[in-house]
Amino acid sequence: MNGDIIVFDLDGTIADCSHRLHHIKGTVKDWEAFHAACHADAPIMPVIRLMEALYEAHHPVEIWTGRDDTTAEATRRWLQDWGKIYGHGIPIRMRQHGDHTEDHILKARWLADLRATGRDVAMAFEDRARVVKMWRAHGVQCFQVCEGDF
């Protein structure tokens, strides 16, 4: 993989956010309430264990999430509670507060920024079909861990 990173999504991929989906279903979407309840997510342990195994095998792992960076502290605490490797400095990329770019566009932008540095994404783990489609359209092998079309 030549130093290329392995990207894991957060919500719906390593964190079970199903208990808070009611905030964004329907015509009115309350993204602030959706993100504010992230501390109560259950872990998706098979995916977390896979992420840990890749990290422990010395593959560069990063978490790229559409979560607003106002949840950074709660997200870090959650990751420390559930993932034994997070304290080792795994980078996490979050959207800036007020950025409402759709997740597949946001992650495509992050991918372009990474590629501009000469690095690339070796593979990605994701739940949302439109983000999976984006990864694959950009030549990245993407593993869809579940159906996550919220």
Strand partners, 6: 61, 123
The H or E element that residue 121 is part of is: strand 121-126
Q: In what order do the strands lie in the sheet with 141-144?
A: 92-95, 61-68, 5-8, 121-126, 141-144
Domains and CATH numbers, the chain: 5-144 (3.40.50.1000)
What is the pTM assigned to this prediction?
0.90
Residue 65 sits at φ, ψ, to 5 deg, of: -130, 150
pLDDT score recorded for residue 94: 95
pLDDT digits (tens, 9 = 90+) for 93-118: 999 998 989 999 999 999 999 999 99
Q: What is d(CA 71, CA 11) in angstroms, rounded to the nearest whole number? A: 12
Q: What is the pLDDT of residues 30-54, one digit of tens each?
A: 878 877 777 888 999 999 999 999 9
